[in-house]
Amino acid sequence: MRIRTLTGSLAAVLVMSFPLLSGGQAVAAPSGVPEQSLAARVLTYDASGSAEFRSAVDRGAAVWNESVAAVELRPAASGQRADVRVLADNGWPRALPTGLGGGTVYIGRQAVNQGYDTIRISAHELGHILGLPDRKPGPCSSLMSGSSAGTACTNRYPNAAEKATVEKNFAGALSGTGVTEQAGPTPRAVLIRD
């Protein structure tokens, strides 16, 4: 039965594809065929420990939500274990990914005190959680250039290449197959400092 179904499906695909291969026009599927809905992979974050940077963290998450379709960052519900913890401390901003889409972000006051933009810091560090490495030195147009762009840089948005990488990292979420694997294993505790 399974072979017959697969053979029938293959035949249907070939019949529908033949007009395209011979220069004809494609025919749309009947309206009664349900379409698979595409949903972003939802990652939750807990910014309760981010102190005075709470609104910058929320805005940094919103930047990613506005920029990519394959993943969505949402605040964790009360009592829910978050994929990402965001904390404030007196050091330099950094991310400790535990895998693609998980880890801890520190919004360090040292960079803020030096004049770096808090929303850019937040979006940059969340970029590490989404699988992006630092791109230093780099221009202000690259979110992942981090501190190398200088304190005058307030660009909070990823560039086209950074967006494409995150889309690729989470492409499985849109196809319904889960998160795609990155090349090689993801280290469990990697400190990414800016």
> Where in the sequence numbering do the catalytic residues fall?
125
Closest CA to 144 of 117, 162, 160: 162
* Cα end-to-end span (Å), the chain: 58
Classify residue 83 as left (phi > 0), alpha (psi -120 to 50) or beta. Answer: alpha
State the greatest distance between any 2 C-alpha atoms of the chain, in Å, as a whole number: 69
Helices 118-129, 54-67: crossing angle, 10 deg rounding:
60
- Determine the Cα–Cα distance for residues 80 and 85; give it in Å rounded to an integer: 12
Pull the structure tokens for residue 86.
Answer: 């965001």
- How many C-beta neighbours within 10 Å does residue 166 have? 21
